[in-house]
């Protein structure tokens, strides 16, 4: 459950519904990386708080202040929250408990694609298909390795851009 999703949709969705859905889709996607589907936990609920995003202007979400980035951070086995972190925290972050959120503006003609991605991520038929196909939906194995590698790559790029920006100033 994304806590404050309706508030985000009311504020940002009223001005830019496509961006609001893109934000929620990224939060859902990274939450699924932190809590991969497993049939034994199918009836469990995870709460993801987006307090930090709900009152912000969309421009500040997509372009956070210099030297900062958005991260979805586990606060317990059933809770996570979106927080704005300084780039310098990258070195001490654990990828088992954190996921970098990459909010990017999609082209306007991708509205249908964004909505389809959002629906696909959490539809029952998608979960059922993935469970039947045996795709990386367990807590062990290649799913965590892939996620860690992906976030490590994101972290390296983010840290590199921050370092080059500091050198040029």
* CA separation, residue 62 to residues 58, 79, 101, 102, 142 (Å): 6, 24, 10, 8, 30
**Radius of gyration (Cα) for the chain, nearest Å?**
16
Report pLDDT digits (tens) over 59-84: 999 999 999 999 999 999 999 999 99
How large is the average pLDDT for residues 18-34? 95
Q: What is the pLDDT of residue 135?
A: 44
Q: What DSSP designation does 141 have?
A: T
pTM above 0.75, yes or no: no
Distance of CA 86 to the CA centre of its chain: 17
Domain extent listing, the chain: 2-168
Q: What is the pLDDT of residue 152?
A: 61
Please tell me which residue, 126 or 42, carries the higher pLDDT value.
Answer: 42
The answer to whether 66 and 165 have CB atoms below 8 angstroms apart is yes
Q: What is the pLDDT of residue 162?
A: 53
């Amino acid at each position: 459950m994304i806590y404050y999703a309706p508030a985000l949709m009311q504020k940002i969705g009223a001005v830019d519904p496509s961006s609001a859905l893109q934000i929620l889709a990224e939060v859902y996607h990274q939450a699924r990386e932190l809590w991969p589907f497993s049939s034994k936990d199918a009836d469990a609920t995870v709460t993801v708080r987006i307090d930090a995003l709900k009152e912000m202007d969309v421009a500040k979400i997509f372009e956070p202040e210099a030297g900062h980035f958005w991260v979805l951070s586990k606060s317990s086995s059933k809770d996570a929250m979106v927080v704005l972190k300084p780039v310098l925290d990258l070195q001490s972050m654990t990828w088992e408990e954190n996921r970098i959120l990459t909010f990017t503006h999609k082209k306007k003609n991708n509205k249908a694609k964004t909505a389809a991605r959002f629906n696909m991520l959490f539809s029952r038929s998608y979960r059922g298909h993935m469970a039947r196909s045996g795709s990386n939906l367990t807590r062990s194995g290649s799913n965590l390795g892939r996620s860690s590698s992906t976030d490590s790559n994101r972290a390296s790029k983010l840290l590199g851009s921050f370092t080059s920006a500091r050198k040029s100033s």
